[in-house]
């Protein structure tokens, strides 16, 4: 048994995070907290839709951090035990969702192309209406070239935001100023993308 577990863990180190692993993690529930899923390990806010923003593990750096997080280790432990019994392809093909599973979750598990809609594997989640919005675009520091996670690493963040420059000047720190520049998803094109590709 231990040898099989070690083999599964070793396979993770060889393949890194994959969409198959992300989909397999979505099949697992935390029985101690039924509303918690693996992607709740990271949380932010998506102002374009005014919804909470989560990460489906963006890269190998965050995969390693996720695997060491004691609060969410249950998801990886359950996945490893399942993969001891069957390859990940079989696990996904044979998965039978429970009757009360939200449709967006079933679709992300059963339709591989949907996760790809979230370019950097970030999603916005409307829990009230049971809708997932795959977020398009990627921030310059969310790449394998520049791994960064401020919760665990002191990496300097490369690149510069449009408003972090000497122009336009902001001479009065007390006054309110509109921030110049625009985030990639704060565009009409991106809003249309979110509307078109919502998963429910």
d(CA 23, CA 92): 8
**Residue 169 near residue 23 (C-beta atoms within 8 A):** no
184: confidence class by pLDDT, cuts 50, 70, 90: low
Which of these, 20, 15, 21, 71, lies nearest to 43 by C-alpha position? 71
Q: What is the pLDDT of residue 190?
A: 87
pLDDT at residue 83, rounded to an integer:
96
The CA-based dihedral angle spanning residues 162, 163, 166, 171, taken in that order and rounded to the nearest 10 degrees: 170
Span 138-179, pLDDT tens digits: 654 444 544 444 444 433 444 555 444 454 444 444 444 454
The structural domains of the chain, with segments of one domain joined by +, span: 2-149+157-169+178-197
The residue among 94 and 157 whose pLDDT is bigger is 94
Q: What is the pLDDT of residue 153?
A: 40
């Amino acid at each position: 048994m231990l040898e099989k577990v070690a083999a599964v863990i070793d396979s993770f180190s060889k393949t890194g995070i994959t969409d198959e692993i992300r989909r397999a993690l979505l099949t697992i529930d935390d029985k101690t907290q039924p509303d918690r899923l693996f992607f709740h390990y990271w949380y932010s806010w998506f102002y374009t839709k005014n919804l909470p923003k989560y990460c489906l593990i963006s890269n190998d750096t965050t995969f390693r951090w996720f695997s060491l997080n004691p609060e969410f280790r249950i998801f990886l432990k359950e996945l490893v035990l399942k993969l001891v019994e069957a390859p990940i392809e079989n696990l996904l093909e044979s998965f039978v969702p429970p009757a009360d599973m939200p449709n967006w979750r079933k679709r992300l598990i059963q339709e591989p192309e949907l996760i790809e809609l979230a370019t950097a594997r970030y999603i916005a989640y409307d829990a009230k209406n049971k809708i997932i919005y795959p977020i398009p675009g990627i921030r310059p520091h969310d790449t394998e070239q520049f791994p960064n996670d401020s919760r665990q690493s002191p990496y300097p963040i490369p690149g510069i935001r449009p408003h972090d420059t000497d122009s336009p000047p902001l001479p009065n720190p007390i006054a309110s100023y509109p921030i110049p520049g625009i985030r990639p998803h704060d565009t009409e094109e991106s809003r249309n993308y979110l509307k078109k590709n919502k998963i429910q």
